[in-house]
Chains A and B, each alone.
Chain A
């Protein structure tokens, strides 16, 4: 082995082991807090839920039904649907709901950031909830989220997100991904290192958002931008995972490609915009570790998944090739297996991989436990940890190259 290769492998191994231990130690430390039930609300602040909708005729009705069914005093919240540049039946579908809690605002200008700002202007509440028009929520979600605003420094609270009724293999993969991501976001929140307030549902203090100038209308990922702006200005973002929003996810690789490339491009733009936070001790774990990790991890994942996939295909090819050369005689090899040789043949790179895998499985187990989900789809889990990571890394690289070559951004 080349020295350079050994140094790279050992460095990556060490960083991966360190991060794995860190997450498990953090979980150990925070387990009781993660498990804790939210405090009961004694006072119900008025909340304005802004729902930007651009051609959402299919999902908007279910979204509004879930909002109207919230277990929160009906005179203490409103839903503002901002129909932006709709050409389908979104507006008609909203108008079917004859409920004083629903306000409809129609605008011609497209753009989610703009729609959110229009909603912000119309919002009466002290808190604003931003919710995607293709998502719906648990009835108790506001009662779970609002108690987290226990300090004026808390600028936003995010909730857990689950995939709505996953049917296809790709949707099941994302179902699994959302479980894991929701859980890791809860842990990140313990370190005040959240860099996103997801669109499915997030709640903000209205005066803080207004003070910060509202939502950025020039970004393709306003949920990443606003989260980083809150962090940049010293506000905290909290997470609760006792209530959930349910969202629809891309059901084809092409749609997934578009979504992820948009997310990653948006994230790269946001990091550039807030580059002062990177490796800045003032921003604690977020600046020193989390932001750099979000940039480096995809590259590491690319490296390790490429290595794993290459090793797998290489072994398969070798075996098939041997089969081709030896034909039926290959059966003889099966009787030559030696346990001692197998042990001595272990590659050292397997140790960190095994360690990280065990830590990953443990965190997965915990994420299922906290999100009250059962382990299912074992094949999906296997694909998630191998090929899917490779796809995500590839999307990340595509996004980075689009940014590098100035490819026009699309929503």
Chain B
């Protein structure tokens, strides 16, 4: 049998080793958290820079050639769209995994929210002033809600089908850290989830399958996509 002295040594050595391995795990976890945050932050920073560049471009070109301004600005949309889409996916993917950088993660989520609204404003400007024909989808969802999850899958798939040319801006209706969500909910009269607004023209409530989404887009593409006034009446499906 192991004597008392050896037992104590064994318990102590195991404790030291456990602390060392546990600490390594913590450090690695923290490192991963940091990598995740940086991964998102890099894209957000790039997106901010591109957006600012876009706004400067807009101001400058508008002063002498409005048509050229529209062409240049429209070319910017896919890049900004891709960036925001990527950040959105990463935020969903990493959610719940960030343990040590929670504040940072919350900050990134808020930043992403604001950037989405700013991007939406830019698109509204383009639609109003440049006959922008791209499809803009506002998707209102709830977390931990099966129908919303399914709708997310369907919209993702739809976007792939359209070679990522759609602009899908998703908003968590329960996101309480940014008052802007209240304004959006009021504007579109959001009462249930999932709710989708297509080009400010059509509104659907409840789950819409990929095939149904395609049908709606066909309808949209066959009609003018010009953005109407802000008090526009939606077609509910």
Q: Which residues of A contact B (CB under 8 A)?
A: 1, 6, 13-14, 17-18, 21-22, 25-26, 29-30, 189-192, 236, 238, 284-285, 318, 321-322, 325-327, 329, 332, 341, 343-348, 351-352, 355
Given the known inter-chain contacts A321-B150, A345-B97, A348-B32, please indicate yes or no for A21 contacting B18, CB distance below 8 A.
Answer: yes
Q: What residue of chain A has the Cβ atom nearest to residue B96's Cβ?
A: A1
**Contact across chains for A352 and B25 when beta carbons are under 8 A apart:** yes
| Nearest chain A CB to B40 CB, angstrom units | 10
Residues of A within 8 A of B154 (CB): 325-326
Chain B hits for A1, CB < 8 A:
96, 98-99, 102
- B129: CB under 8 A from chain A? no
Interface residues on B, range: 35 or more
- Residues of chain B within 8 A of A329, CB atoms compared: 157, 160-161, 210
Inter-chain pairs besides A17-B18, A343-B32, A346-B32, 13 sampled, C-beta below 8 Å: A1-B99, A14-B18, A22-B11, A26-B10, A190-B2, A191-B1, A285-B7, A318-B149, A321-B146, A325-B209, A326-B153, A348-B25, A348-B29
Q: Which of A1, A321, A346, A348 has the most CB of B within 10 A?
A: A348
What's the Cα separation between A22 and B35 when bound, in Å? 33
Q: Are B99 and A6 in contact (CB under 8 A)?
A: yes
Q: Which residues of B sit under 8 angstroms from A26, Cβ to Cβ? A: 2, 10
Partner of A17, one of B21, B96, B150: B21
**CA–CA, A22 to B146, complex, Å?**
44
Q: What are 15 A-to-B residue pairs whose CB atoms are below 8 Å? A: A1-B102, A18-B15, A21-B14, A29-B6, A238-B1, A285-B7, A321-B146, A325-B154, A325-B210, A326-B154, A329-B157, A332-B160, A341-B93, A345-B94, A355-B25
Check if A344 sits within 8 Å of B35, measured CB to CB: yes
The answer to whether B99 and A348 have CB atoms under 8 Å apart is yes
Contact of B4 with A by CB under 8 A: yes
Give complex CA distance A301, B36 in Å: 31
**Chain B residues near A284 (CB-CB < 8 A):** 4, 7
Given contacts A13-B22, A191-B7, A326-B210, contact A351 B1 (CB under 8 A): no
Tell me which residues from 138 to 194 in chain B have a Cβ below 8 Å from any Cβ of chain A.
146, 149-150, 153-154, 157, 160-161
Chain A neighbourhood of B157, CB < 8 A: 325-326, 329, 332
The 4 A-B residue pairs with the shortest CB-CB distance in the complex, in nearest-first order: A18-B18, A348-B29, A22-B14, A351-B25
Residues of A within 8 A of B2 (CB): 26, 29-30, 190-191
